[in-house]
Structure 1
Amino acid sequence: MGTPGVEGLASVAEKLGEWQSDGGPVQLHPGDLGWFHRFGAEHTANSVRLWERDGQTLAIGLLDEPDMLRLALAPTAFEDEELAQQLVADVAPERGVLIEGTVYLEAPTGARIHDLLFKEGWDLDQPWTPLQRDLADPVEDPGLRVDVIGPDDAPVRTAVQRASFDGSTFTDERWHAMAAGAPYGSARCLVGRDGRGEAVAAVTVWSAGPGKPGLLEPMGVHRDFRGNGYGQAITLAAAAALRDDLGASSATVSTPSFNVGAIATYRAAGFEALPETRDQIRRA
């Protein structure tokens, strides 16, 4: 297990993109790395873990929080027993990858590590619902003015984010840190405006490469403008940007299954729910 260093983050994002596929399990996406980059390159590099063998990267982990590790696996490594045993050993309390106490691990469905963690006493956490929209056909008009955000407009994007999520710490400085990361070279920040020009919703979309699934992370509607269909509209704009600007084959988003409002919004924008996923939890 190692870390990539700041100079290796672009290669990590590229590898994550290679591992994405339509019809495959939803797993850590280069956009997740890109969104995390708002905390800066050094912090991001220090939060990434790599598992390699014979010069090949088999697994990539992102410490989203000190108590939360998100894993992506190479397509050939899902049933790799040696890798799974090493991963289980590395997330044991004495290894220090995760803090002591209650911790969480997200791994793609079908990975051997799930069975081994259950044997170590891990349980299932609350369900999440991934949703996906195929982008083979053009996306319908969202019926909303949508602006692509550049550096000069960053304050608009960050203001909508903070007005959409209680406790959000997305500042202008963090937008610029995010935009400086390698994954943002294939990303777009979009802001939707109502008929008066007010910024009412925002989304960031991330590419994994042409012909690969793209990601929405995050999407939010300003708390003062909810109930007007702006969530559906900005989600349609996101899907269109992924298809038309970035060449994505599909658009993917995930939300906690209890968030029935968000699920309804994504369904209204043509997304279909995939089988629920669950993190695994090791309780203190």
Structure 2
Amino acid sequence: MPPRIRTGGRSLAPELVAHLDRWVAEQPFSIDLHSGDVGWHLRHDDEALDGAFLGWEVDGGLAAAGLLDGGVLRTSVAPAHRHDEALATVVADGCAGLGYVDASAGTALRDELLRRGWSADPDPWVLLHRPLTERDAPPDDPATRPLDGPDDVAARVAVQRSAFAPGSTFTPELWRRMADGPTYDPRFEMLTWTPDGEPAAAATGWFAGTGRCAILEPVGTHADHQRRGYGRRANLAVLGALARAGAGGVRVHTPASNEAAVRAYESCGLRAVDWTVALVAPGRHDGGHPSG
């Protein structure tokens, strides 16, 4: 039986998350779609999520998962199917009309897209990773703590909107949708406050299970409080919470050109383990892979 594609919205997310969490145990250093990417995307409304999640089945079992965000497809392939050419052909067929695809090196999917004329994005990204054990958990920072109530949610939203201005559309409603998702855990979202009680930085981590690799997404510092170490404190608090929960490591994926972000992650103990490039559709030459 040929591979079969399924598409869906919010209701498909829990099934994809369960498989992604199992797959990441075998592929901690990959750029593959992570359950945390799904969790962060669930902030959108149902209309925006319709058709955003994809699953490809082989012999009745999920063999690959995808997140479609505009013209960008982010993928993860089950370890047992990374070299499955029949699966790669079906997934590649569905990429017609897209602008970018994230497909890990060494997979049949990436090879198939290259054969079809897709090319490497000229703007590389860097994958950073840090192993975690309980010994890596830093001492508690009294100015950094999980969110507690609507006022903290509003503060967390304000940090996000300032850190990513003018493009951020984050609102308390979007936060609530994200928090209602199957992957969100309030232990892994932190706010750092100034001595005057202003929200300075926020970081969100996504736990995939004991011994497995987590991710950070998103992290940011309010424009009024940048370059004072607040972002690092928020990140370290999340890393500590992940370590205490038993995460085996944490990874982030960011544009290599964003040197400030790379330095910020390195200051938290993450180290570059790979440089990656998305694939660009034939005939598209603008570069600038927009996902992350």
Give TM-score, length-normalised by structure 1.
0.91
Q: Give the letter for the 1:74 counterpart.
A: A
Q: Are the counterparts in 2 of residues 41 and 177 from structure 1 also a CA contact under 8 Å?
A: no
Q: Distance in 2 between matches of 1:189 and 1:273?
A: 24
- Match of residue 164 from structure 2: 165
Q: Distance in 2 between matches of 1:222 and 1:264?
A: 18
Among residues 52, 57, 62, which one is paired with 1:52 in the alignment? 57
Among residues 83, 88, 91, which one is paired with 1:84 in the alignment? 88
Q: Distance in 1 between matches of 2:273 and 2:34?
A: 16
Q: Which runs of 5+ in 2 are unaligned?
A: 285-292
Q: Are the counterparts in 1 of residues 147 and 186 from structure 2 also a CA contact under 8 Å?
A: no
- Match of residue 115 from structure 1: 111
Q: Give the letter for the 2:52 counterpart.
A: S
- Match of residue 143 from structure 2: 145
Cα-to-partner distance string for 1:88-140 (whole Å, 9 max, x where unaligned): 112123xxxx3xxxx00001232112222112111111111111111123233
Q: Are the counterparts in 2 of residues 122 and 280 from structure 1 also a CA contact under 8 Å?
A: yes
Give TM-score, length-normalised by structure 2.
0.88
Q: Structure 1 151/12 Cα, relative in aligned 2: closer, same or farther at 3 Å?
A: farther
- Match of residue 134 from structure 1: 131
Q: Give the letter for the 1:197 counterpart.
A: G
- Match of residue 17 from structure 1: 21
Give the secondary structure class of the aligned counterpart of 2:266. Answer: helix
Give the secondary structure class of the aligned counterpart of 1:275. Answer: strand
Q: Are the counterparts in 2 of residues 186 and 207 from structure 1 also a CA contact under 8 Å?
A: no
- Match of residue 232 from structure 1: 232
Root-mean-square deviation over aligned CA pairs: 1.8
- Match of residue 268 from structure 2: 269
Q: Distance in 1 between matches of 2:254 and 2:20?
A: 20
Q: Distance in 1 between matches of 2:12 and 2:100?
A: 26
Q: Give the letter for the 1:261 counterpart.
A: A
- Match of residue 181 from structure 1: 181
2:36 matches 1:40: no
2:27 matches 1:31: no
Moved over 4 A (4+): none
Q: Distance in 2 between matches of 1:186 and 1:46?
A: 27
CA shift for structure 1 position 247: 2.0
Q: Distance in 2 between matches of 1:41 and 1:188?
A: 25
Q: How does 1:244-283 map to 2 (within 5 A)?
A: 244=244, 246-282=245-281, 283=283
2:67 matches 1:71: no
Q: Which runs of 5+ in 1 are unaligned?
A: none
Q: Structure 1 14/276 Cα, relative in aligned 2: closer, same or farther at 3 Å?
A: same
Q: Are the counterparts in 1 of residues 187 and 241 from structure 2 also a CA contact under 8 Å?
A: no
Q: Distance in 1 between matches of 2:115 and 2:79?
A: 24
Cα-to-partner distance string for 1:40-99 (whole Å, 9 max, x where unaligned): 35643520111101111111010122x100001101111111111111112123xxxx3x
How many residue pairs get aligned? The number is 274
Q: Structure 1 179/231 Cα, relative in aligned 2: closer, same or farther at 3 Å?
A: same
Q: Structure 1 191/52 Cα, relative in aligned 2: closer, same or farther at 3 Å?
A: same
Cα-to-partner distance string for 1:160-186 (whole Å, 9 max, x where unaligned): 000100210000110011111111147
2:247 matches 1:242: no
Q: Structure 1 145/109 Cα, relative in aligned 2: closer, same or farther at 3 Å?
A: farther
